[in-house]
Amino acid sequence: MPLVPPPKTRVTNSRKSSKTLLLTGFEPFGDDPGALSLNPSLSIAQALNGQKIGVWRVAGEVLPCEFGRSVRVLKTLMREYEPEAILCLGQAGGRSAISIERIAVNWDEAALADNAGVLRTGQAILKTAPAAYFSTLPIHDMRDALLEAGLPAELSSTAGHFVCNHVFFSLMHMLRGQATPAGFVHVPYLPEQAKLTGAAQTPSMSLGSMNAAIRCVIEKLAPSKKP
Ligand code: PCA
């Protein structure tokens, strides 16, 4: 079950000399051996918390891996930080590259229960909302910058139908009609997680490379031209 992340420094942007980017990771989830008590998305959010990257001051936070509470926590963080950009991260064990998600779909369906024991076997996230939303991040520029930096990267057309897609969809729905750039990036297992799956071919990436990759992604992000 999830570990409570260690206390960390809160980002405050009182002088507003830089813009706030809310960067979220998820707590560990699932019971496959690769899960351990780790989730690289959380490690990245903790590592980059408080850093200045390009024009951005990063506020790194954790979301619970629960359909219900994840979105409530995200809403609270959005109220608290009033961020000018939002990037949510999640772990996609088995993927071999930094996966920049194109699209969030209005559907929950997974074989795995969330950390509160809730199983969603096929239902709309919001009955009255559109079927899908596109990421509003410059996804192609981000992918190209990663590849130029020698980091494995891809665009992905599915964030799955578990809590990551749920958060991604809810985020894009909350921000509809607004200029705030937002989106989702999935990351591979850490090497220590991949080892525990027992399969020799399970792909992984070091935390150092993932931190560098997410820095590179954030550098490509220009603030919106809000008045
Ligand atoms: N990955 C899961 C949920 C939390 C996470 O890090 C997913 O892809 O839905």
216 is annotated as an active-site residue:
no
Q: Please tell me the least confidently modeled range out of 9-13, 134-138, 148-152.
A: 9-13
Q: pLDDT band at 31, cuts 50/70/90? A: confident
* 13 lies in some domain: no
Residues 157-208 pLDDT 10s: 999 999 999 999 999 999 999 999 999 999 999 999 998 888 889 999 999 9
Per-residue pLDDT, 1 = 43
Ligand 1 centroid to residue 224 C-alpha, Å: 28
- In percent, the amount of the chain with pLDDT more than 90 equals 83
Does the structure show a pLDDT above 80 at 59?
Answer: yes
CA atoms of 163 and 31, how far apart (whole Å): 15
Instruction: Give pLDDT, residue 227.
Output: 46
Lowest-confidence segment of 17-21, 53-57, 165-169, 176-180 by average pLDDT:
17-21
Q: How far apart (Å, rounded) are the C-alpha atoms in residues 58 and 85? A: 10
Q: Taking the model in full, what pTM does it have? A: 0.93
With respect to residue 3, please indicate whether it lies within any of the assigned structural domains.
no
The total domain count for the chain is 1
Tell me the residue range of the domain where 77 lies: 19-219
Q: What CATH number has the domain bearing residue 60?
A: 3.40.630.20
Active-site option among 27, 61, 66, 164: 164
Q: Please provide the size of the chain in residues.
A: 227
Residue 34 is assigned to a structural domain of this protein: yes
Q: What is the mean pLDDT of the chain?
A: 92
207 domain residue, yes or no: yes
The pick from 1, 23, 29 for probing ligand 1's pocket by mutation, whose C-beta has the most ligand atoms within 8 angstroms, reads 29
